[in-house]
Amino acid sequence: MIKNILNLGDSSVYCDFGVEVNREINNNVIKYFKNLKEKKFDGITNITPSYNKLIVSFDLEVTTYSKVKKIIENLELEEKVEIEKKLIEIPICCENNFKIDYDRLEKILNIKFEKLLEIFFNDEYFCYMTGFIAGMPFLGDTNKKLRAKRLDTPRVKVPKGSVGLTEQFCNIYTYESPGGWNIIGNTPIKIFNKAEENNPLLINPGDKVKFKRITQDEYDKIK
């Protein structure tokens, strides 16, 4: 499963599962992530999964790179370690000022915005990873008809709750942030809640997301 294990800085191990981005590879990443997290090895302080990589950080006062590498190489993947996967419905309003890039997408994709939304809302999306901003989910795989490049010049501010498209992914901005994704709408619900210390993420790697279209009035009531 793991193609290569390398030293990343003084106190991290970089596990490379390959260059492709697909669900099979990502499921392997999540298996290692869940097993390492469940077994709580001494000295391992943080485990960060991505599309096809896993970064394992450790405390140099407790363990070493060689010991952590050996733990990973010899790790027995227990199927009983539960990989919880949820289907989560996320409401989105695509009206008024929320559909920031509708005209750009119509031009570069040669598709009417309503047709774009019809395709978008018809699919389910798989959470490959979270990151960049705290709790931001990277969701795939978008329909090939909806795949657009990032903005040439990123925005200085993208509103919290914005839903964006880039290449094979869509995401949800958990905070106001700079960004270059193509924004099609906004959700009124919290995707990341730092007040929930034990479980701040609404969407976790391995979860599936189904978006639900709502009106401006419905958005305002939820908000």
Which residues, in sequence order, are CB contacts of 56 under 8 Å at separation 6+? Answer: 12, 13, 15, 36, 44, 46, 47, 48, 68, 72
Given a contact cutoff of 8 angstroms between Cβ atoms, the answer to whether 80 and 163 are in contact is no
SS (H, E, C) 87-147: EEEEEEECCHHHCCCHHHHHHHHCCCHHHHHHHHHHCEEEEEEECCCCCCEEEECCCHHHC
Q: Residue range 18-32: average pLDDT?
A: 90
Q: What is the pLDDT of residues 150-163, one digit of tens each?
A: 999 999 999 999 99
Q: What is the pLDDT of residues 41-100, one digit of tens each?
A: 999 998 989 999 999 999 999 999 999 999 999 998 876 555 567 899 999 999 999 999
Q: What is the pLDDT of residues 91-128, one digit of tens each?
A: 999 999 999 999 999 999 999 999 999 999 999 999 99
> What pLDDT sits at residue 84?
65
The domains found in the chain, sorted by start residue, are 4-73 (3.30.1360.40), 87-222 (2.40.100.10)
Percent of the chain at pLDDT > 70 equals 97
- Give the whole-angstrom CA distance, residue 181 versus residue 171: 8
Q: What is the pLDDT of residues 186-218, one digit of tens each?
A: 999 999 998 887 789 999 888 999 999 999 999
Strand pairing class (208-214; 87-93): parallel
For the chain, counts of helices (H) and of strands (E): 5, 13
